[in-house]
Amino acid sequence: MLTIIFAALLGLSFGARAAETSPDALVKATAEDVITVIRTTKDKAALRAAAEEKVLPHFDFRAMTQLAVGQHWRQASPEQQKALIDAFRTLLVNTYTASLNVASTGKESVEVKPTTLKPGDNDVIVRTTVRTASRPPIPVDYRMTRTPSGWKVYDVIVENLSLVTNYRSSFASEIGRTGIDGLVKALQSKNQELAKAG
């Protein structure tokens, strides 16, 4: 799973260009930022800082969490929704940092396919291929939406597997057993495990 997450997030280092560049040009122009970081360090703190600074500001975590929680989202109070968003964001940060540390070889590259963006388009899929030394090329699609602060990712599809859909089934199962608060606690517990493992 770490390799899949690594592949999914490798090209997403958007910087300040998010508000002024088309989604595909943005991914293409900035993919090397993360690759440069992983080629120069394996330090977990530096990798986490790279994730926080370069990648995660360009995800719409509210939309991602809402999609992952599915129909149960409407049952959650505003406080529970915030707790879910915070816990899910932390989970992705921890997973991303761990995957950079474990899966990277320094020989990764990202090929971005041109995306046709029509006037007024506010939702787009940017298709890429991640090439690594350890496995065949991995197709990665980014579902992005236009926001007032630039393009944001709300789902990542790796080899036809949606990150959001992948979490939805496990989230629904946990909510069925322990409720919304139980899912929050489960995510927080997983985050603590990942933090200790690092």
For the segment 52-73, the average pLDDT, to the nearest whole number, is: 87
The pLDDT score that the predictor gives to residue 31 is 61
| Close Cβ partners of 135 (under 8 Å, ≥ 6 residues apart) | 3
**According to the model, what pLDDT value does residue 1 have?**
45
**Tally of domains within the chain:** 1
Phi, psi of 112 (to 5 degrees): -105, 125
**Domain interval for residue 172:** 2-197
Quote the tokens at residue 15: 């910087």
pLDDT band of residue 87 (cuts 50, 70, 90) is very high
Closest CA to 130 of 116, 109, 148: 109
Q: What is the pLDDT of residue 2?
A: 44
For 156-172, what is the mean pLDDT? 89
CATH number of the domain encompassing residue 188: 3.10.450.710
Task: State the pLDDT at residue 112.
Answer: 84
Give, in degrees to the nearest 5, the angle at Cα 65 between 197 and 147: 120
Whole-structure pTM value: 0.79
